[in-house]
Amino acid sequence: MSRKIEAVVFDIGETLVDETRHWAAVAQYAGIPPLTLMGVLGGLIERREHHRSLFGYLQIESVDPNIFGYQIEERDLYPDVVSVVRQLKTAGYVIGITGNQPLGAVQQVAALGLPVDFVGSSSEWGVAKPDHGFFKRIATGLGLGYDQILYVGDRLDNDVLPAQEIGMHAAFIRRGPWGYLQASWPGAADAQHRIDGLAGVIRVLERINAPQEVRS
């Protein structure tokens, strides 16, 4: 019997990667305490402003991570990433990672030993989340229907709701600044699946792929 979901595609920042070191590097570059930066970032999330407006509030130019030498390393992965992704791969799922990051950042994650089949970035595609075109590129690249893909992300506005709107299954992971704050937004009730860690992805797949009872 074929299963409904064939591919699991992960967002990067605060889904797979703990961005604490990144933001600490930005704070150091800006010459402010990390707590100050995180407080401003949290306020922007609640006000639904783009996180890049942070640089305006700090009165510094928007910076490329390459300027201060930040690179995604294995220590930046959340503790559950490697084990869960490997379980999914062993179970036969196609694994993808995509995000609104430079292609180099996506490739850095893919190079950390994860069994990844598909990578994509907004900079490469010329379209960024939450635009539906981003999710269309995922389906096209995988050669699958929208309903055969589970997208996992920490943001309702950028990840979960637009993925659902186009016909994908989606799981909202409550971690990182966006995940915790957006979990209290009214739109959180519209998320098909809510999880607190990547182990929840396996349970979500079990529910989706479970045979439906046929009523006579």
DSSP sequence for 64-122: -GGGGT----GGGB-TTHHHHHHHHHHTT-EEEEEESS-HHHHHHHHTTS---SEEEEH
As a dihedral over the C-alpha atoms of residue 104, residue 109, residue 110, residue 111, rounded to 10 degrees, the angle is: 90
Confidence at residue 179, expressed as pLDDT on a 0 to 100 scale = 94
Kindly give, in sequence order, each residue whose CB lies less than 8 Å from that of residue 204, ignoring residues fewer than 6 positions away: 150, 169, 171, 193, 195
DSSP 147: G
Domain residue ranges in the chain? 7-17+73-209, 20-68
Sheet of strand 7-10: strand arrangement: 118-121, 94-99, 7-10, 149-153, 169-173, 193-195
Span 41-83, pLDDT tens digits: 888 888 777 777 677 777 666 555 555 556 889 999 999 999 9
pLDDT confidence of 1, banded at 50, 70, 90?
very low
pLDDT at 101 > cutoff 70? yes
> Tens digits of per-residue pLDDT, 124-161?
899 999 999 999 999 999 999 999 999 999 999 999 99
Return all residues near 207 (Cβ < 8 A) that are at least 6 apart: 193
**Lowest mean pLDDT: which of 55-59, 107-111, 188-192?**
55-59
Q: According to the model, what pLDDT value does residue 64 have?
A: 57
**Among the four given CATH numbers 2.40.50.140, 3.30.70.100, 3.40.50.1000, 3.40.50.720, the one describing domain 7-17+73-209:** 3.40.50.1000
pLDDT at 164 over 90: yes
